[in-house]
A and B are shown apart, each in its own frame.
Chain A
Amino acid sequence: MHRRARTAAWSSGLATALVLAMLAAATVGPVRIGLLEVGRATLNALAVPAGLEGGALRWVHPFAFDVERTHQVIVGELRLPRIALGAAVGFALATAGTVMQGFFRNPMADPSIIGVSTGAAVGAVASIVFPPAVPFSLQWAAFAGALLAGFGVYLIASEGGRTPVATLLLAGVAVQTFLGAVVSFLLLYAGDSLERAVYWLMGHLHTSSWPKVWTVLAVAVPAYVLVAVHARDLNALLLGETDAHTLGVEVERTKRLLLAASSLATAAAVAAAGVIGFVGLVVPHVMRLLVGPDHRILLPTSALAGAGFLVVTDTAARAGPAELPVGIVTAALGAPFFLYLLRDREVHEL
């Protein structure tokens, strides 16, 4: 029960911090809006289903505080969707990163290690540069590219029903390099859309909308649940695959499932927000130092911390006079911190 109490304490603490960070983030912007006003506007924007009407859910807004109309629009339609998207993307990336680090038994692993992010980049850049050739929206093209790349790497690395982790890692590196070349090639022919493509590649949250938030959550939350249910198996896998087998874990099946769930979560996040680095690498690493290696506590805390981290960094990215893509901020903060860890901590070998 000790572990459950710790998990509950850490998770509720981080969840509270996340909500506070989201509300505080909504006060930041060109128009200054007080925290109280933000809280009222947020409650006003809240809709709950209240029964069925003609086959569709009927939504009602239970709160109607007196909020200035422009403020209501700014908070409810502009800031909150962006903040929520940041939280959803951070949640998805940190979950995927935690799984990948456990899966590869290597804290250097990150969500894009098997080529998912680069695959998304190919899809997204292709759809920006040659819109007529790509019949989907940018987000779907990126999502499809991510899944194709991840699945391709998996197929390349699998033989006879087994997927050795080292082969998977190397195949991931090779495919990432190749797809990176494809992205560069596409950029050569980008012409007028070059700026848009490069901006996408940097990772950003400025094109947020509520539907985007729901799409990311619709993929990331089930993926998280799937992974969380296998937290104990992931623990056993940290002892090595043969040990995990003798402890009763169906190793290959569990690996497939973890790989699929984390690739889906990453694909959804990258498709919505571009390649945002270091969230999936640094957040699980820091949480491991704080709560230990047990995935039953590490997964929920990393996911919540990842959500909070991205909300805070994106707020910093848009707080300055000129808005920066959040990917630059996470990398600029994450890389030095990671180097510090690298120098200061033992990095476990593969």
Chain B
Amino acid sequence: MIRIEDVAVELGGREVLRDVSLSVPAGEFLGLVGPNGAGKTTLLRTVNGLVEPTRGGVEVAGEPVAGRSARDLARRVATVPQETTLGFDFSAHDVVAMGRTPHRSRFDGADAEDRSAVERALARTETADLADRRVGELSGGERQRVLLARALAQETPVLLLDEPTASLDINHQVATLSLVRELAAEGRTAVAAIHDLDLAARFCDRLALVADGSLVAVGSPGEVLTAERLERTYGVRTVVSEHPVTGTPTVTALGHGGGESAVPAREPLGPPAADDD
């Protein structure tokens, strides 16, 4: 569904991405992980057309992104931004309804299909009760869910998410990522930049580790998240163990590469905690 081939991106004379090749098939939830400033957001932006690669090409649904109209792209790729600058106060419902923009002609109002798409999006993101509130009054986490609802209302085969869980409480972190998993299971392609390695390992089918503008590793969470690789990319010693409840890899950062600040791991696996789920 998404094919990224030998992509390099220069922004302001600096190379932020180089030689990135990556394919994401339909029905997969891929997590982009890596340190701050690694190029995760830029990589997402080559897919939604916000950034044009200086070399290489990106295809969505078999067609190149370059040269497509914004409207055409917006019917195929929906993006949940990391932050949004909401100048004036629209209601949450208005913002979600804006997800229908690429599907309507300039002169039409909302039809029944638009309205039901908005209703579904509000219901699935549990934001229906926020619909009449002004977006400016919502908390950061509520706003993020509204933006996810807007992306769902866009009804695209591809969904990109930039740090969708960054300002969410643990309940909504799990709810949001479960929802993205469900959407992938329904046949959509989802790519999310996620900081929390444990959450990424738990919910994503595959992970792509990006560091310093390059793709370091792609594969199942277990393959990608190794202590040695994480130390190389994040510059911190870690212990990767299997989570006792979810059975997925869990990462514990210890400290800087072997310095005295390093905290020794007492029990790599730790005691199974009943209240952990």
Contacts and interface: CB of A to CB of B under 8 A. Distances in A.
Nearest to A240: B85
Interface string A75-112: 00000000000000000000000000010011100000
A248 B75 contact: yes
Nearest to B48: A246
A245 interface: yes
Nearest to A104: B87
Interface string B8-22: 000000000000000
Contact of A251 (B70, B85, B106): B70
B50 A245 contact: yes
A229 interface: yes
B84 A239 contact: yes
Given A293-B88, A348-B87, A243 B81 contact: yes
Contacts of B81: 240, 242-243, 246
B70 A248 contact: yes
Interface string B56-88: 000000000000011111110111010011111
Interface residues of B, number: 32
Given A247-B99, A250-B71, A106 B50 contact: no
A246 B150 CA distance: 11
A232 interface: yes
- Most central of A230, A238, A288 by chain B CB within 10 Å: A238
A246 B106 contact: no
Given A242-B81, A245-B49, A348-B88, A235 B98 contact: yes
B70 A288 contact: no
A106 B87 contact: yes
A19 to B, nearest CB: 27
Interface of B is mostly: loop
Given A248-B75, A249-B70, A242 B88 contact: no
Nearest to A249: B70
A248 B74 contact: yes
Interface string A257-298: 000000000000000000000000000000010001110000
Contact of A249 (B87, B88, B101): B101
Interface residues of A, number: 30
B89 interface: yes
Given A236-B98, A239-B84, A246 B90 contact: no
A67 to B, nearest CB: 43
Contacts of A4: 109
A247 B86 contact: no
Contacts of A105: 85, 87-88
B88 A248 contact: no
Nearest to B80: A246
Given A245-B49, A293-B90, A239 B99 contact: no
A238 B90 CA distance: 9
B114 interface: no
A126 to B, nearest CB: 37
A105 B78 CA distance: 23
Contacts of B104: 232
Contacts of A240: 81, 84-86
21 contacts: A105-B88, A229-B107, A232-B101, A235-B94, A240-B81, A240-B86, A243-B79, A243-B81, A245-B48, A245-B74, A246-B50, A246-B77, A247-B101, A247-B102, A248-B71, A248-B73, A248-B102, A249-B71, A250-B69, A294-B90, A348-B87
Given A229-B107, A248-B102, A293-B89, 6 more contacts: A3-B109, A238-B87, A248-B73, A248-B74, A293-B88, A348-B87
Report the 6 A-B pairs with minimum CB-CB distance, sorted nearest first: A248-B74, A248-B102, A105-B87, A293-B88, A248-B71, A246-B79
